[in-house]
Amino acid sequence: MNIQWYPGHMTKTRRMIAEQIKNVDAVCEILDARIPVSSRNPDVDELTAGKPRMVVLNRVDQADPEGTKRWAEHFRAKGYAVLESDAKSGVGTAKFAGAVRELLADKLRAYAEKGMTGRVVRVMILGIPNVGKSTFINKVAGRKTAKTEDRPGVTRSKQWVPIDRNLELLDTPGILWPKFDDQSVGMNLAYTGAVKDDILDVETLGCYLMAYLGEHYPDALKAAYKLSALPEREAEKNDIAYGYRLLEAAGKKRGFLISGGEVDTERMAKILLDEFRSAKLGRFTLEVP
């Protein structure tokens, strides 16, 4: 799978990040708590080397709470400050300013000792498209700020957003990377809606998602589709075959039949993706640390 996502725009944004990194005290990456690896731009480590780092696990309302706990521990163990957030409802966002000050405590103490108490702390905010970056910034700022555009050809490529007298954010465009080396990254981004469905046909995507849920969240799947039991996962069958049988079972329960009594698995796959994205099926985390 090779997703090209505005390569010229990505190059410009990367350059902007590299130029601006010297103007910020810390870097905050907003990740999707359901897919903390797949929603993490692999270029960020190299671009921001040496800066104190914060990770915001956003969309915790849609993720498995146990998974979020494990990811938070994972990033803390690596020395990152971690904030769990549901930016849509504003849960967790009020802790952002305090978390930044804690992350930069040594630096701020050193400034205070030199009498530089009024110095503004600047934080660069990074995140792939649709992760909830604008929603998060608006909640932290307490007002609606202009959205930086993820698309090329629009002039607003970065902006400084004042939060309080001592804290300013640098909002950047959401960028993906030109090529996913690992196919599961592309699929995770498609399940969550970060990239368009058309990278793969909907039915194939639905099969893979069903297979994952059937394996990791069988009880939730049974409850969501009122299935008394799931089809057996046979060792010799691949994910597609297993997922297809789950799509058939769920589609049959929903009454999605086409001529000849066959199940309309494509329709079921579309519904599955919609329901996954809106967390109607439950709260799931698709990656483990």
Confirm whether residue 23 is marked as ligand binding: no
The length of the chain is 289
Please tell me whether 135 is known to bind a ligand. yes
Q: What does residue 161 show for φ and ψ, rounded to 5 degrees?
A: -120, 110
The residue at minimum Cβ distance from ligand G4P is: 132
* Residue 61 annotated as lining a ligand binding site: yes
134 binds ligand G4P (CB under 6 A): yes
Nearer to ligand G4P, 32 or 248 (CB): 32
Are 54 and 80 in contact by the 8 Å Cβ rule? The answer is yes
In angstroms, give the least distance from the CB of 61 to ligand G4P.
5
Q: Strand pairing of 159-164 and 167-171? A: antiparallel
* Contact (Cβ atoms closer than 8 angstroms) between residue 113 and residue 10: no
Least CB distance to ligand G4P at residue 154 (A): 13
27 is in an annotated binding site: no
161 is in an annotated binding site: no
Q: Which of residues 142-181 bind ligand G4P (CB under 6 A)?
A: 174
Residue 166 token pair: 């001592």
* Residue 53-72 contact track with ligand G4P, rule CB under 6 A, x = bound: -----xx-xx----------
Is 60 annotated as a binding-site member? yes
The residue among 73, 28, 33 whose CA lies nearest residue 52 is 28
Per the annotation, does 37 bind a ligand? no
Q: Which is nearer to ligand G4P, 172 or 265 (CB)?
A: 172
Could you give the CA distance from residue 225 to residue 250 in angstroms, rounded to a whole number?
Answer: 6
Q: Nearest approach, Cβ of 77 to ligand G4P (angstroms)? A: 24
- What does the alpha-carbon distance between residue 46 and residue 67 come to, in Å, rounded to a whole number? 27
Give every CB contact of residue 11 below 8 A, 6+ residues apart in sequence: none
Q: How many residues form the binding site for ligand G4P (CB under 6 A)?
A: 17
129 binds ligand G4P, rule: CB under 6 A: yes
Q: Tell which positions 223-262 bind ligand G4P, by CB under 6 A.
A: none
Among 25, 29, 84, 86, which residue sits at the site for ligand G4P (rule: CB under 6 A)? 86
H-helix or E-strand spanning residue 82: strand 81-85
Q: What tokens were used for 272?
A: 């599955």
* 41 forms part of the interface with ligand G4P (CB under 6 A): no
How far apart CA 49 and CA 27 sit, in angstroms, is 10
CA of residue 254 relative to chain centroid, distance? 30
Residue 132 binding ligand G4P, by CB under 6 A: yes
Q: 3-class SS at 74?
A: helix
Contacts to ligand G4P by CB under 6 A: 58-59, 61-62, 85-88, 127, 129-135, 174
- Annotated binding-site residue numbers for GTP: 58-61, 130-135, 174
- Annotated binding-site residue numbers: 58-61, 130-135, 174
